A and B are shown apart, each in its own frame.
Chain A
Amino acid sequence: MPVPSELLDATDAVLEATNQPDEFKSRLRALIRNAAEGGVEDRDVAGLVAAIDIDSDTGA
């Protein structure tokens, strides 16, 4: 099912406020689109978590 535009807007707003690497941001956007279609793989989630820089910020 298509992702509601409000969810995409919220994702952009939250990611805008983080200093996390671009890789994390693009992985998260892709995951949110895939989650709406029910197609999330463990390796994608593991990749997302590994892309987080714990020294960058608190995540929000």
Chain B
Amino acid sequence: MQLRVTGWRCHNIRGNLREIDIDLSLTPPRWTLVQMNNGGGKTTTMSLIRAALTGQKLDAETVKGLRPEDGESMGSFELRILIDGRLHVITMYFDYGSGGHSFSTARASEADGGLLDTHALPSEVRSLITPQFAELFVFDGELARKIRSHSSDRASSAIRTLYGIDRLETLRSTIERLLDEQQSRVAAVTQARDKRHVERLNNALQAARQKLKGLEDKRALIVGDCDHAKAERDRINKEIGDRIGQNEEAASELDALEENLRKADLVILGETNELRTSLQSPFLSCPRALGRLQGLSAQLQALQLPEAATAEFFQELADGEFCVCDEKITPPIREKILTKAATFMAADESGVINSMKTLVRTTDEDPARLQQPVDTLVGRIRERHRIKQKLDAKRATYIAAGGEELTALKEQADKHEREIGRLEEQLERLDSTDTTYQLNHGLGWEQNIPKCKAHVAECDERYNTATDTHKLLLQSRIAQKVLNNIETEALSLLREKVRTATNVKLAQLVPAERLEVVRIGSALELSSRNLARKDNVSEGQSLSIAYAFLASLFESANHRLPFIIDSPAVPLDAEMRREVIKVVPELFEQTIMFVISTERQDFAEAFYGRPDARFITLVRGPDGTAEQRDGEDAFKTFQDEDDAPAQNVGEAA
């Protein structure tokens, strides 16, 4: 499927969007740069494009917030798109009084113009372009953070949607529905007495499923709250860091301590891994265990076990009057037992025991050997603790010196930290599979998701046995399992493909840091030249990662979509802009960029003179209107009154 934006029109919308009609023609240029002043309505236009594409309902407050300052009562937004060459016009009508809105869709390819009073794009488009998916190509800058967040699952979910892997879910739910229908049919013809029993089992099953859904919903809410609290904590900590950083001496002292802490963490991680590997040897883990193993080995040696035991068994059997099967043992049979005894010895078991004996007897491992690395590690942990205490104390001193405002920020950050702790504890109660933890916290199937899932499976089993659909249930489970395995395998192949392509682009975008995506799990996991795992990246790096990932994601997908972005270069420094501009323009067949005047330098200027680029400048006019000027000259000379003339790129970022 190919989608192109051919234009949009705003009527009576706040900002500078009172009367705007952008017409990109039926053969839109590859690159469109729309320059506006800060606060001129870039973000609003992006949100409206997303809503028009997805048909997402806006809440009343959002609609009322679109009302222009002079209090017009109605407004509208029209988006014109080509879907596989066919023109579709989606219009959103806003009633600012009630906060309501409605859609209409005109499809030019229909004989009557195909005007419908609803959002009516082709089903393939509707199923693909969900609100979450639209954020990928009508790019929400916040997404740059979300695709690196483990709880948001945006990276994997984008791959799943774009490559059609989520269609397997349709197959799975169809299997589930067919099973449910068959169970209902069988239950309907069951005898009355049995019927009550079946109903009871069905009620128990439905209650268990409902409880499971409730727990999963609760979990999603907690994850959302926790994410929010973490984002707030990080934002406040960054603000505290920025303020302390204004004092150069303090910044350098804290940076040095943080670097020491990072180094200490790396050393502890490496030594812990080595120690864990050593501990897998039973000879090293515990002196008592080694002593007992050696005692056992000596006794087995003295008693000539296990060979003696096996030989003794056959000897005793041959000496007896009757065999173990109660048959009489005659002299020829006795002779046969003794001859064939060796054939019936459990050679493999004897072999294992003998090799254990040899291993224990000949080992020169000494548990005392572990003492030295353990002592070293304990020392390292203590040293890390000291560095951390020093860092915390220094930070507290600088915060206290920063006055009431900084202290208040710290209190807010601490409050979020406590909240995160509380929420993570709740998540552990919901997620824990540790039976000891479950027991200690009195967690039953109504409180714990893994236990609840097991309970649902039990109820399902009982219900299916009662409704005689057991075979169908087993077949459905096998089919589901095969589909799950295919999905896992396909996602793994696709993740690797996207990961490799992303790293090729990242090497070009951020050459100095040598950033790499090491794994695409629920999020993008990064490493860098110096760190095996890198969680903290600058805003510019974050954006570069998002560009590289999205470009790799889209380049081999079957859908060709436009890329629409707000302020693509604002967070980037001059060097990174020059790298991004080498890569980003070639990634999509149509790119629409909303820019401000400070993005011309080192970014927008790279498009000057390109025949397939179009420049539009929206100049703020009186009464919230905007004058539309076409062409490079107007674009180059536009000066936003909000931008100080001397402002440089770094300040703008």
A-to-B contact residues, CB < 8 Å:
1-4, 6-7, 9-11, 13-15, 18, 20, 28, 31-32, 35-36, 38, 40, 42, 45-46, 48-50, 52, 54, 58-60
Contact = CB atoms under 8 A, between A and B. Distances in A.
A26 to B, nearest CB: 14
B482 A45 contact: no
Given A20-B482, A59-B477, A59-B478, 18 more contacts: A1-B1, A2-B558, A4-B163, A6-B494, A6-B497, A7-B163, A9-B490, A10-B493, A11-B490, A14-B482, A14-B486, A15-B482, A32-B171, A38-B123, A40-B170, A49-B175, A49-B178, A58-B478
Given A4-B164, A6-B490, A60 B178 contact: no
Question: Which of A2, A6, A60 is packed against the most chain B CB atoms within 10 Å?
Answer: A6
A7 B164 contact: yes
Contacts, number: 95
Interface in B135-178: 163-165, 167-168, 170-171, 174-175, 178
Contacts of B478: 20, 52, 54, 58-59
Contacts of B165: 4, 7
A18 B483 CA distance: 12
B460 to A, nearest CB: 16
B481 interface: yes
Contact of B174 (A1, A15, A20, A45): A45
Identify whether the interface residues of B are mostly helix, strand, loop, or mixed: helix
B396 interface: no
Identify whether the interface residues of A are mostly helix, strand, loop, or mixed: helix
A49 B478 CA distance: 8
20 contacts: A1-B164, A6-B497, A9-B489, A10-B492, A10-B493, A14-B482, A14-B486, A15-B482, A28-B482, A35-B167, A35-B168, A36-B164, A38-B167, A40-B170, A40-B174, A48-B479, A49-B475, A52-B478, A59-B479, A59-B481
A29 B175 CA distance: 16
Given A28-B482, A60-B481, A60-B485, A3 B164 contact: yes
A18 to B, nearest CB: 7
B180 to A, nearest CB: 12
B124 interface: yes
Contacts of A58: 478, 481
Nearest to B482: A59
Given A14-B485, A59-B479, A31 B490 contact: no
Interface of B: 1, 123-124, 127, 163-165, 167-168, 170-171, 174-175, 178, 471-472, 474-479, 481-482, 485-487, 489-490, 492-494, 497, 558-559
Contact of B489 (A14, A28, A38, A52): A14
A58 B477 CA distance: 9
A1 B178 contact: no
Nearest to B123: A38
A6 B170 contact: no
A10 B489 contact: yes
Contact of A7 (B174, B471, B486): B486
B482 A60 contact: yes
A38 B492 CA distance: 23
Contact of B490 (A10, A42, A45, A59): A10
Nearest to A13: B489
A42 B171 CA distance: 9
Nearest to A35: B167
A29 B489 CA distance: 15
Contacts of B1: 1
A36 to B, nearest CB: 5
Contacts of B171: 31-32, 35, 40, 45
Given A54-B471, A59-B478, A1 B124 contact: yes
Contacts of A9: 489-490, 493
A31 B478 CA distance: 16
List 3 tightest A-B contacts by C-beta distance, closest first: A59-B478, A10-B489, A10-B490
A2 B167 CA distance: 12
Contacts of A38: 123-124, 127, 167
Contacts of A1: 1, 124, 164, 558-559
A24 to B, nearest CB: 8
Contacts of B170: 35, 40
Nearest to B559: A1
Contacts of A46: 178
A6 B163 contact: yes
B500 to A, nearest CB: 13
Given A35-B167, A38-B167, A4 B490 contact: yes
B610 to A, nearest CB: 32
